[in-house]
Amino acid sequence: MSTTLTIMLALVMFSMGCTVEARKLWQHIRRPWGIVIGFLCQFGIMPFTAFALSLIFNVLPVQAVVIIIMGCCPGGSSSNVFCYWLDGDMDLSISMTACSSILALGMMPLCLFIYTTVWTSGDAVQIPYDSIGTTLVSLLVPVCIGMYTKHRWPKAAKKILKVGSVVGIFLIIIIAVIGGVLYQSSWTIAPSLWIIGTIYPFIGFGLGFLLARFVGQPWNRCRTIALETGMQNSQLASTITQLSFTSAELELMFAFPLIYSIFQLVVAGIAIGLYNAIKRRRRGTSAEEDGEGAQSTVEDQDKQNYTLENGGFNCDENRNTENKDKGTKL
């Protein structure tokens, strides 16, 4: 099942790559202001927020560790799909996902060492570097193929993008449902984990958006950075917890990555719904204003034509008026 889903996600990322232009992608790498902001959100805001929530709700040590693991994970491929539906900056989204996956090789151990030593020893959590590498390869290779497809066959790339964007949404939902069914025995956990798993995505999205807007990023990049901040790689978090804890400990906290993944989809879905509703409303308002403006222009033109056709006098440059019918000056 894991292999099948990885292949399907790679196909979806191929379709997302059909929106990326090499020139714009290189601009983000040369002037990485958006990437730097995303880095601060991904490995600064999210781990600290997880640490603060664990202290506020006074959860068990193993539960606090899994919350922090979730906060230290890089962004997932789901953010790229939702970025497309929110009219975000796809070049920035994919570059941020790739950079966060690469930087996670060093930043995840560092963040986990800083924030988990309150509850456990620094070497207790095992980082699955092979899973991070697989995620990186399944992202970069399909995107590069999609970029080449767009350059070589632009018309076909548009069709692939339309199909892939829809398939990507359904695939994300299917993954969430499968995870919930396979691990349904883990749903009986402390209410505090449910509360944290519900509010944590909202905090991540909100703080990412506000920070991006605070430093003057345009609206589409604000939406992109918010998605990259709030959408965590929950599959990687699940793998880390399975490798690092015993079966008895997993019963207390294994469902948290699933809870977070579900509510991050809920937040992203709400954002897409609100954004498209606002966009349709503005489009309707603009259409009405354009219609009124066009009608006003037609009326003014009719009045002008009526004046020209029915005016009894013409005025010369000396302000003398001449009756156009009689040819006499006044």
Q: What 8-state DSSP symbol labels residue 185? A: G
Q: Which residue has the higher pLDDT, 76 or 93?
A: 93
Q: What is the mean pLDDT of residues 146-163?
A: 83
- Quick one: 189 exposed, middle or buried, by C-beta within 10 A (0-12, 13-18, 19+)? middle
| Cβ pair 150, 17 in contact under 8 A | yes
Q: What is the mean pLDDT of residues 134-152?
A: 81
Distances (CA, A) of 201 to 97, 111, 227, 251: 17, 19, 10, 23
Q: What's the pLDDT at 309?
A: 46
Give 196-240 pLDDT, tens digit per residue: 999 999 999 999 999 999 988 999 999 999 998 998 888 788 778
Give 155-203 pLDDT, tens digit per residue: 888 888 778 777 777 777 777 677 667 666 566 677 888 899 999 999 9
Binned at pLDDT 50, 70 and 90, residue 295 comes out as: low
